Amino acid sequence: MRYRAVAAAAFAAVASSIVAPSLASPSQAIVGPCRHGYAYAGYAGRDGAAGVAATISAIAPASVPTGHAAAWVGVGGIHAGPDGANEWLQAGIASFPRVRPRVYVEAVSHGEARRFHDLGPAVVGRRYRVRVVETGRDVWRAFVNGHAVGGPAYLPTAGGSWRPVVTAESWAAGHGACNRYAYEFDAVSTLQTGHWGRLAAAESIGTRVTGDRSSFSASG
pLDDT digit string (tens) for 13-34?
Answer: 344 433 334 433 344 444 445 5
Domain count, the chain: 1
- The CATH code of the domain that includes 130 is 2.60.120
The share of the chain scoring above pLDDT 70, in percent, equals: 82
Q: Cα 160 to the chain's mean position, in Å?
A: 22
Is the pLDDT at 57 greater than 80? The verdict is yes
User: In Å, how far are 24, 85, 112 from 68, measured between CA atoms?
Assistant: 18, 24, 23
pLDDT tier, 155 (very low <50, low <70, confident <90, very high otherwise): very high
The answer for residues whose C-beta is within 8 angstroms of residue 137's C-beta and 6 or more apart is none
- Reported as half-sphere exposure (CB side, CA atoms, 13 A), residue 57 has a value of 13
Closest C-alpha among 68, 72, 11, 65 to residue 38: 68
* 3-state secondary structure labels for all residues of 121-164: ECCCCCCEEEEEEEEECCEEEEEECCEEEEEEEECCCCCCCCCC
The answer to which of 55-59, 107-111, 130-134, 143-147 has the lowest mean pLDDT is 107-111
Structural domain of 100 = 2-219
* pTM of structure: 0.84
Tens of pLDDT, residue by residue over 188-220, are 999 998 999 999 889 898 878 898 999 999 988
- Report the distance separating Cα 177 and Cα 91, nearest Å: 25
